[in-house]
A and B are shown apart, each in its own frame.
Chain A
């Protein structure tokens, strides 16, 4: 049986992981499976090392992002947080999303980086509070239903932050 992402890095399958441990164990696997170490190895060994490196990359990127980590933990519980046919989100949350999007649009057309920074700070605060509630929902209460809602929200928030960051970069140029 193949290892899950947490097992791969010797981590407990929880939301509140030690990021430093993730980082160092990832670097370790990366160096162990580095192609330079397999120059004289057999084709099979080369292939195994390459697969190991690819898996480690995938696992690292997944666990590093809080939203993806939560989504993955739910998957381990057999819960699909993100389904393409489930578009229902709480109304007040969607309103807030719309407002953030509209404010971003206004700030972009005014080339107002200050406003975008403020917006980003507000959104990061919201992301932080969702992440804090995910620690208790996933690790302590094991309330996977409520955790699914929080995870879905976090994915929206990541998306809007990404878009604002991109907008700031474009104005900066």
Chain B
């Protein structure tokens, strides 16, 4: 199967690979997995006091499309609010990367990773407020 140029670019030069301090109260972590192919994706976002995402890092073990999807979303996330991040749809990711139908699930994985990371940061913030 041929990958699109954008997938290849992200696959060969993935942006923002790495981790953030998971114990930082301003860092949210999203971990998801795709049983269909055994891919695992970890996405971490650092949010400032105004709810803007300042930094995003990812670590993905999976195929080129899964790596490209997570690399792309880390670029998209920076500068967005967590609510804007939550609204990102897998179809936007799939379209940007020109993913073929059999690889759509990679973009689903990336969307779910964002949602999980946002849910984690919201839970951390709620815990901080009640503390």
Residues of A within 8 A of B (CB): 81-89, 91, 93-95, 97-98, 101, 152, 155-156, 158-160
Q: Is B104 engaged at the interface, CB distance under 8 Å to the other chain?
A: yes
Q: Is B40 engaged at the interface, CB distance under 8 Å to the other chain?
A: yes
Q: Is B34 engaged at the interface, CB distance under 8 Å to the other chain?
A: yes
Q: A101: which B residues are within 8 A, CB to CB?
A: 40, 61
CA distance A158 to B36 in the complex (A): 11
Q: Is B118 engaged at the interface, CB distance under 8 Å to the other chain?
A: no
Mostly, the A contact residues are helix
Contact B61 A84 (CB under 8 A): no
Knowing A155-B38, A158-B38, A159-B38, say if A95 contacts B104 (CB, 8 Å): no
Contact A94 B108 (CB under 8 A): no
Contact A84 B33 (CB under 8 A): no
Contact with A along B33-57 (1 / 0, CB 8 A): 1111110101000000000000000
Q: B104: which A residues are within 8 A, CB to CB?
A: 84
CA distance A159 to B35 in the complex (A): 9
Contact A91 B31 (CB under 8 A): yes
| CB-based closest 6 A-B pairs | A159-B38, A84-B105, A87-B32, A101-B61, A152-B35, A87-B112
CA distance A158 to B35 in the complex (A): 10
Contact A97 B40 (CB under 8 A): yes
Which one, A85, A97, A98, contacts B108 given CB within 8 A? A85
Q: How far, in Å, is B23 (CB) from chain A's closest CB?
A: 14
CA distance A69 to B93 in the complex (A): 34
Q: What is the size, in residues, of chain B's interface with A at 8 Å between Cβ atoms?
A: 18
Contact B40 A82 (CB under 8 A): no
Knowing A85-B108, A87-B108, A101-B40, say if A94 contacts B35 (CB, 8 Å): no
Q: B37: which A residues are within 8 A, CB to CB?
A: 159
Q: B38: which A residues are within 8 A, CB to CB?
A: 155-156, 158-160
Q: How far, in Å, is A157 (CB) from chain B's closest CB?
A: 8
Q: Is B109 engaged at the interface, CB distance under 8 Å to the other chain?
A: yes
Contact B34 A94 (CB under 8 A): no
Knowing A84-B105, A91-B31, say if A98 contacts B112 (CB, 8 Å): no
Closest to B29 in A: A91
Which one, B42, B109, B113, contacts A98 given CB within 8 A? B42
Contact B36 A82 (CB under 8 A): yes
Closest to B108 in A: A85
Contact B36 A94 (CB under 8 A): no
Knowing A94-B40, A98-B40, A159-B38, say if A88 contacts B32 (CB, 8 Å): yes
Closest to B109 in A: A87
Residue of B31, B42, B105 with most chain A CB atoms under a 10 A cut-off: B31
Q: A152: which B residues are within 8 A, CB to CB?
A: 35
